[in-house]
Structure 1
Amino acid sequence: MSGVEWGHLGWLVLTALVVAALAMAVTAAWSRRLRRVAVVDVAWGATFAAVAVVGGVVAGLLGDGSAWRRWLLVALVVVWGVRLAWHLRTRVLGSGHDDPRYEELLGGPYDEVPFSTIVTKVFVLQGVAVVVVSLPVLVGLVTSARWAWVVGLGVAVWIVGVVFEAVGDAQLAAYRRQPRSSRPPVLDTGLWAWTRHPNYFGDACVWWGLWLAGGVASGWVAGLVTLPAPLVMTWFLTVVSGARLTDRRMRGRTGWASYEARTPMFFPRPPRRS
């Protein structure tokens, strides 16, 4: 990456910060109106898509990079982000209550936590995370691919991630549609027999794939500089608001202890007998 390209990357990062800040400000107002923090889940994927689209337009105006990879990266982010936002829209807005994970994260229900704390711990944190995680995409928008085969490898990892996430979400939705009286206490079939969180694992794969296609394919320096992006996303999915919080909430449910003992939390492996 030349000095000019690094300078152009700075403009893209600034653009991403503005887009993320506007998106999270609107989402915070929406949250206050509904008295529900979980609406940020709907905005999460949509904000990534908005950052990618606006970044793609700005990068095109700056004139750097390869057009084919630029719009490939934008398309990958938009497909992932829009699917995720649409899926979570139905779940979040149709539930009538907040996600218990956020109550645990904030230390209480929405009405018992200062709004400033909610903004800082949720909306500011996630807005900054969107920009950090988007760095490989932003780099890929203003640079040419040094290794086309790495772009292909990244797309392959992205596909694995989308499949895990979409199929896992569909299997969970089908499980929840069953009457409580007749469904098993724990979903332990399909991808959920291979990992306790196939949707979170898929999410992580999507962003490791985008790191390969956008960061690493631009050169080793770009790959190292953007490495925090997939690490931050994986940290969010496993520690901050994902797998560990969900596991903590599920402990005590009938059948969970044996399911937890035989099924890995994150990385999939073949089902193991009890």
Structure 2
Amino acid sequence: MSTRVPTRAIVMISVSLILGSLFALAGNQMSIEWQGLPAFGLCVAVAFVIQWLAFIPAYAKQTERFYDLTGSITYLSITAFILLITFEQLAERSIILAAMVIIWAARLGTFLFIRISKDGADNRFDEIKPNPLRFLAAWTIQGLWITVTASAAFVAMLSQNSHPIGWLGTIGIGLWLTGFAIEAIADHQKRIFKSTQAQTGHAFIHTGLWAYSRHPNYFGEIMLWFGVSLVALPVLSGWGYVTLISPLFVLLLLTRVSGIPLLEKSADKKYSDHELYHAYKSQTPVLVPRLTKPVLVPSVEKVKAT
């Protein structure tokens, strides 16, 4: 068992670096150069280096408190760098894409940092913090997450192609605005729920947007990255189209890897004897919200079982 854990971590680190390098190569085909280097490849390298630098004090102090904040700072830093080196030929599309990334990263980073400051810890890291390779793998994966999710925006901002915003960009802006609003409102509602849970006596959140979807914040997250990709699409070409995998990567990671599966497993274990939870789970979609608010009625099978 002791040999399997670091081996798995090494594989995760290696895969993250390989995928990050492939994205850098694809994006470089469209990227302008800065100081003789392809700017997009430099952005990818910076995304990983920032995570590794932050890992050092995080491991020394055995804390994950600055993990999400570091990710947000990385998005903001790279976006600011791209705006700086393209300032003289800054296009309307680049300004819109930069605003999308900056507003999203600033809002989410602040929210997550306040949350972990109040909670004191993130139990997802409890088992991996003591192991340097596993903890480093988590930071390296964050570097890949930043690279892939923002790649379409960054490549479009660094592209020399130009194209009017048009109807496709307008749809993308609408998707981003809707997704951002859903994510922000859902996060706020859950934070309010947790702060008043002792008074209400509710075991889990099933009100507000959470009455229509079990994970509305993730639905908003996926939607806004689809919006970013649509805004970036008209100026992409060649290997730059690879960056359009961004929203699909977010969708895959949140629905199949680290997001929904872990939360669902935790909730199933925590509320296994809670009748209302089983009704909520059976009548509320896991991701895509239903149009009408369900009336939570325990199933016949559950009533008989209890």
Q: TM-score range by the shorter chain?
A: 0.7 to 0.9
Structure 1 gap ranges (5+) = none
Partner of 2:3: none
In structure 2, relative to structure 1, the CA distance for the partners of 1:5 and 1:148 (3 Å cut) is farther
SS, match of residue 294 in structure 2: coil
Displacement of 1:146: 5.2
Is residue 150 from structure 1 mapped to residue 174 from structure 2 by the alignment? no
Partner of 1:139: 155
Is residue 55 from structure 1 mapped to residue 55 from structure 2 by the alignment? no
SS, match of residue 37 in structure 1: coil
The match for 2:182 among 164, 182, 186 is 164
Structure 2 gap ranges (5+) = 1-27, 298-306
The match for 1:245 among 259, 262, 274 is 262
Give 1:170's aligned amino acid.
H
Structure 1 moving runs of 4+ over 4 Å: 219-223
Give 2:129's aligned amino acid.
Y
Partner of 1:211: 229
The match for 2:129 among 90, 110, 134 is 110
Partner Cα distance (1:74, 1:6) in 2: 18
In structure 2, relative to structure 1, the CA distance for the partners of 1:57 and 1:222 (3 Å cut) is farther
Partner Cα distance (1:137, 1:230) in 2: 11
Partner of 1:199: 217
Partner Cα distance (1:166, 1:26) in 2: 29
The match for 2:252 among 235, 242, 245 is 235
Is residue 101 from structure 1 mapped to residue 124 from structure 2 by the alignment? yes
TM normalised by structure 1 equals: 0.85
Is the Cα–Cα contact under 8 Å of residues 284 and 294 in structure 2 kept in the other structure? yes
Give 1:71's aligned amino acid.
I
Partner of 1:272: 294
In structure 2, relative to structure 1, the CA distance for the partners of 1:34 and 1:195 (3 Å cut) is farther
TM normalised by structure 2 equals: 0.77
Aligned length: 260
SS, match of residue 246 in structure 1: helix
Partner Cα distance (1:27, 1:259) in 2: 40
Is residue 186 from structure 1 mapped to residue 204 from structure 2 by the alignment? yes
Partner of 1:129: 145
Note the alpha carbon deviations across 1:79-102, whole angstroms, 9 max, x for none. 0000001001111122222x2334
Determine which structure has more spread, i.e. the larger CA radius of gyration. 2
In structure 2, relative to structure 1, the CA distance for the partners of 1:223 and 1:230 (3 Å cut) is farther
Displacement of 1:180: 2.3
Is residue 16 from structure 1 mapped to residue 27 from structure 2 by the alignment? no
Partner of 1:262: 283
In structure 2, relative to structure 1, the CA distance for the partners of 1:82 and 1:168 (3 Å cut) is same
In structure 2, relative to structure 1, the CA distance for the partners of 1:155 and 1:222 (3 Å cut) is farther
Partner of 2:108: 84
Partner of 1:36: 63
In structure 2, relative to structure 1, the CA distance for the partners of 1:179 and 1:264 (3 Å cut) is closer
Is residue 6 from structure 1 mapped to residue 33 from structure 2 by the alignment? no
Partner Cα distance (1:38, 1:256) in 2: 30
Partner Cα distance (2:71, 2:277) in 1: 29
Partner Cα distance (2:62, 2:218) in 1: 26
In structure 2, relative to structure 1, the CA distance for the partners of 1:109 and 1:248 (3 Å cut) is same
